[in-house]
Chain A
């Protein structure tokens, strides 16, 4: 029978990927309870809608987070376009999805690297990030920015990618497959990696549903839910999209789901490049959002389902813009996985929800 101690974990800790605080109540190296606390990097970005007009606000949404940057500008643009009834040209929709899938690839590769660093395999961490540089080079060649792309705006996209450049992108991604396969094999088959991941942070399907988890965190526990399968935007043009689902429910399953989603993203990009239509890339925006009109929209970001709500008030400033990020939904699930785990597995459990606290707090 041991005594209970409370260990404060975060917001600054070498192995913690994001600035959140956890009060861990432990007894003899086992965590009994974890109380989360966030709010260290709240910037009040949602209040900026009253200062930046709706065309300029897309630059603010891009800078909410460095990893999901393009996803937020895409979700914002889609929501405001629905608010004002703007039709986006098909080529712009395809280009947006290509950039979004590249964004998903770079985000998952970043996460795989952080996971390897979390259990101490630094070589694997470095190799993942070295391979991720290929995706960032594609971003720089097509948009000029490695992390903040400034590619999406209300009405379409800012610049075009020529068809021969698109073919070059597909060739680069195909070349990446072989090396990425080696990394994925290490994650899924290596004995030392498996001993740190299998059985860690198990969440059953019922618990996952009760905690309303989203994204790869939910799909690893057997919930078959992916906003991309509803066919919004150019996702509707995909011939057969099946979300990657695993039933094991532990850290290994979450690693498997995210690792395989990278390969699925390469296939999606290839399919869309083959079907790419020609035409305009931008629709000129006239007028302002009407008073009292409200729109909600959802987007499958790398971390899960992201929810956007916009309300107009007749001026060029939006009345309200709300972003609900997937991490805020997954925190309750994370707290549940932490109950009963070893102290050494706490950073792994925090990492398996792929936290992005800068999006969550805005």
Chain B
């Protein structure tokens, strides 16, 4: 029995720094796993639509024709389903969360136009791939003809 059992702890706390932070003046400490908002490395995105299909709150909209990827950050529930299922691994979960605002905001990302060097590199790669396929087809046709002849 007795009274004032909390005196020691109260005196200790009196001389320590406060346990709370003056957020938002002081930035909060996030861990590497903290779930904030979803970010997209748009130049790697192939607009397959898997993230749109799997999102439980329909926060993501993908348009393949326009090459745009739209997210409503206020609908996102940070379940990381989209990040886990992305085939190109271009989606990541960033730790800082959407700040409070007076209006809901929808973020649209559009795939940037290819620079002339990138376009030239892409065309060269496509040409090389087409040449490889043609060569493989020709080889197969030659093998079939040989087998038929025998």
State whether the Cβ of A164 lies closer than 8 Å to any Cβ in chain B: no
Query: Assuming the A-B contacts A59-B77, A144-B31, are A189 and B9 also in contact, with contact meaning beta carbons closer than 8 angstroms in the complex?
Result: no
C-alpha spacing A159/B10, complex, angstroms: 39
Q: Which residue in A63, A144, A182 is a CB contact (below 8 Å) of B9?
A: A182
In the complex, per-residue mask of A234-251: 1 if CB is within 8 Å of any chain B CB, else 0: 000000000000000000
Given contacts A189-B2, A191-B3, 17 further A-B contacts (CB under 8 A): A56-B81, A123-B10, A127-B13, A140-B31, A140-B34, A144-B31, A144-B33, A144-B34, A144-B35, A144-B78, A145-B78, A150-B79, A182-B9, A183-B6, A186-B6, A190-B4, A190-B5
- How near does chain A come to B50, taking the closest CB pair, in angstroms? 14
Residues of B with C-beta under 8 A to A145: 35, 78
**Chain B residues engaging chain A, CB cutoff 8 angstroms:** 1-6, 8-10, 13, 19, 31, 33-35, 56, 77-81, 93
Mask, A127-143, CB within 8 Å of B = 1, is 10010010000001111
> Which residues from chain A contact B19 at a C-beta distance below 8 Å?
130, 133
* Bound: A191/B77 CA distance, A: 46
**Cα-based distance from A159 to B9 in the complex (angstroms):** 37
Q: Would you call B31 and A127 a contact (CB within 8 A)? A: no
Point out residues on A near B: beta carbons under 8 Å.
52, 56, 59, 63, 123-124, 127, 130, 133, 140-145, 150, 158-159, 179, 182-183, 185-186, 189-192, 194
Chain A interface, DSSP helix/strand/loop, else mixed: helix
Inter-chain contact A192/B31, CB cutoff 8 Å? no
Q: A185 contacts which chain B residues (CB < 8 A)?
A: 5
Report the minimum CB–CB distance from B57 to chain A (whole Å).
Answer: 9
A27 to B93, CA, bound (A): 59
**Chain A residues, CB < 8 A from B5:** 182, 185-186, 189-190
Decide: A59 and B56 in contact? CB cutoff 8 A. yes
Q: Which residues of B contact A158 (CB under 8 A)?
A: 80
